[in-house]
Structure 1
Amino acid sequence: MSDQAPDYRFTPAFANPSGSAIRELFKYLSQPGMISFAGGYPAAEFFDRTALRQASEQALRDTPLDCLQYGATEGLLDLREQLAALMASRGVSTTAHDLVVTTGSQQGFDLLIKVLLNPGDSVLVERPTYPAAVQALRLAGMQMLSAATDAEGLDTEALAAQLADQPRGAIRLLYCVPTFANPTGACLPLARRLKLLELAAQHDFLLVEDDPYGALRFEGEAVASLLQLSLQVPGAAGRVIHLSSLSKILAPGLRVGWMIAPPAVRQRCLIAKQTSDLCTSPWTQRIAANYLASGALDRALPALVAGYRAKCRTMLAGLQTMTEYLEVAPPAGGMFVWGRCRDGVDAQAVLQRAIKENVLFVPGSAFYAHAPDPSSIRLSFAAPGVEAIEEGLQRLRRAF
């Protein structure tokens, strides 16, 4: 027998893959006394444990087969009905049959890549954007183009100029987080949303609207989703695929997300999902359905939003003492503050000093598909307590 190692013949995408730059920071979380502004983790103190325990006990007591048996690929009907009601409260008229339950919204995006895109297709992402989306597109062999953003999100005038140089239909889709974006926290204004929909119709591309943070607004008035607005813009109907999740407003451990897509897309995503996981965990679906049906989310959400408002204000107040080092954009919701180090200071160099001071953040270079801005940083105020935020910012100031 030969001792030679087998040739695994990895696919080109996985021959030399790179993992998440954010998750690479997790090894520092075990460092005693570490305060983390890095991961986009919801605050553990806001998990509605009592109501979730009741929903879980009810699930096993009243509907054990729903929990323990295989389920429908499209998701538990009761849950889809509750999610349709949740979307109605957000201004979107839909039915249970329009929804597919996914294992987190990330699975929804992965399914869309499988059924809509071929390697080499051109897709647009915001600059900067959610890194897991970039990773998924890169591993699938897509040709990514970056769309400029500013403090209000996607710059639609710049996008119009960018698209003017492309033949109609050359861009297959644009992925965006228009409401309290990860990483910038920006919320796209109504006029820009309408312009974006016009551009999608004019240039024949699809819009993937990822909306995990929309319910976490703590300043200003809500803005209609792209999905809702698509019915108002000629040629835009059927171009928006909406992804959302219970991860940021209930618990990420449930791994419950959903997709709203045109019938032709939805049907193909169901087939792709059959080959992926057969169905999202029926047990956690039943827990989520019971929880939503009880009205617990409506009762818990105001305190959750108030808690994040207080944390964000604490972080912004502390950052006011660092204006000579850092310029930030105050968000009106979500979980993140985006900033840039002044004078071109490298955020990675600051991070190495911050780790020694026992505080973490994510250098902004993790959020770019191309040509990252080395001076940018993302700070998450969601997980630490108010006192930890205050202490962590003092440590960050020392690092600067």
Structure 2
Amino acid sequence: MQFAGRLNNVETSAIRELFKLLGKPGIISFAGGFPDSAMFDVEGLKEASAKALAEEPGGALQYGATEGYNPLREQLAAFMGTKGVKGLNPEGLIVTTGSQQALDLLGKTLISPGDKVIVEGPTFLATIQCFRLYGAELISAPIDGNGVKTDELEKLIAEHRPKFVYLIPTFGNPSGGLLNLERRKKVLELAVKYQTLIVEDDPYGDLYFNEAPPPSILALSDSVPGSREWIAHCGSMSKVLSPGLRVGWMIAPAELLAKATMCKQFSDAHTSTFAQATAAQYLKAGRMPATLAHVRKVYAERALAMGEALRQELGDAIEFVQPQGGLFVWARLTGAGGKVKDGNEFARRAIEQGVAFVPGAPFFCANPDPATLRLSFATADVARIEEGVARLGKAL
């Protein structure tokens, strides 16, 4: 069988492959990148789906517009307004089947084979795979605890003139990094200076633990004249409400939205109208603030517990920045005291001790750091986090 040549550019996700090893009884997993299903607002979603069927069954169960179910687009525009995005009309966004589809649509509409795209190093693994599938040459921009290094980013933009720059500025996956306010404004200035599209992926921005993060790049675009037309923003309900709904959205300039809508017609016609109607009713009912307050509290406790346990059990053999939001601890093995320094080797030893995490190398599009690893604290309670990290200590 002759497959498309584009498949030569990608390979199966290292994370998905890792899941095959997790069938061992009693294993504690820090590997997943998903929310804790125990915190889903099941009652709220039941009420929302019942209202969707009672009030507009035809709209909820029939084919719908590719751009999205209009009541949901209205609710999402209002939701983004509460987060500082001014002047957003429902027509200024389309609903996608999770934010992953938004990334795929960006690949379809913008990337021709050989086009250069700048991403963070490290970045979301599925983004690397998606953009490579469409033939992109990926350029890695270095980051630190404050997100992408904008001075380095400018050098890369000036040198490579990319089709676009992809960033996860708020509690990124896998880095957990938070782009500070100064750098966010700098990114907007770079967008205008070099006429370069900035893609802001923001699935974790509502999952902050203490102080709210700086406004999104999209929300800040009003402060930098001319920058709004160079921003595409991808949002998702997967991490804050339910991944199973598969509801995401993309806000972008009208011309880009039109092209993305056309490509979406070819792939799924439209995102599930039933899921969209349920999400619309949920937002309309005003339950989201309480849901967010609850998950923030729980994840904050777990993040703190993991940080304390790592410092206690692994000491100077590991270094990391304590996360202030999101779902992940991004860490680096130091090799201190002769301990293991390779993430893949450490992962193998950890599985033998009954605990799993994801080695960090696959999250880099170039020049991977083999000493890195990603740990998720989202799906384990404090007791299991402490036990799991104790096992990691034994695996060193």
For the aligned pair, the TM-score class normalised by the smaller chain equals: over 0.9
The question of 1:25 aligning with 2:18 is answered yes
CA displacement, residues 174-228 of structure 1 (integer Å, 9 cap, x when unaligned): 0010000111111100100111111122222100000000000112343011112
SS in 2 for 1:201: helix
Q: Which moved more, 1:134-143 or 1:215-224?
A: 215-224
Which residue is equivalent to 2:132? Answer: 138
SS in 2 for 1:242: strand
TM-score (norm 1): 0.95
SS in 1 for 2:170: coil
SS in 1 for 2:171: coil
Aligned pairs (5 A) from 1:1-400: 8-15=1-8, 17-93=10-86, 94-166=88-160, 170-321=161-312, 322-343=314-335, 345-400=341-396
SS in 2 for 1:374: coil
> Size of the alignment, in residue pairs?
390
- Shift of residue 58, structure 1, vs aligned partner: 2.1
CA distance in 2, matches of 1:267, 1:360: 42
The list of structure 1 runs, each at least 4 consecutive aligned residues, that deviate by more than 6 angstroms after superposition, is: none
Q: Does the aligned pair in 2 maintain the 1:124–1:171 contact within 8 Å?
A: yes
SS in 1 for 2:319: strand
Structure 2 stretches lacking a partner, 5+ long: none
SS in 2 for 1:147: strand
CA displacement, residues 10-67 of structure 1 (integer Å, 9 cap, x when unaligned): 1112257411111111112322111110111101111001111111222223322222
CA distance in 2, matches of 1:222, 1:128: 20
Q: Which moved more, 1:184-193 or 1:228-237?
A: 228-237
TM-score (norm 2): 0.96
CA displacement, residues 279-323 of structure 1 (integer Å, 9 cap, x when unaligned): 000111111111111111122111111011011011011011112
Q: Does the aligned pair in 2 maintain the 1:179–1:188 contact within 8 Å?
A: yes
CA displacement, residues 224-247 of structure 1 (integer Å, 9 cap, x when unaligned): 111122222233220000000000
CA distance in 2, matches of 1:140, 1:231: 32
CA distance in 2, matches of 1:27, 1:192: 39
Structure 1 stretches lacking a partner, 5+ long: 1-7
Q: Does the aligned pair in 2 maintain the 1:338–1:377 contact within 8 Å?
A: yes
Q: Does the aligned pair in 2 maintain the 1:175–1:210 contact within 8 Å?
A: yes
CA distance in 1, matches of 2:40, 2:125: 25
Q: Which moved more, 1:216-225 or 1:10-19?
A: 10-19
CA distance in 1, matches of 2:158, 2:265: 39
Aligned alpha-carbon RMSD (Å): 1.3
CA displacement, residues 244-290 of structure 1 (integer Å, 9 cap, x when unaligned): 00000000000000000111111111111100100000111111111
Q: Does the aligned pair in 2 maintain the 1:91–1:228 contact within 8 Å?
A: yes
1:304–1:174 CA distance, 2 compared to 1 (3 A): same
1:340–1:15 CA distance, 2 compared to 1 (3 A): closer
Percent identical pairs in the alignment equals 46
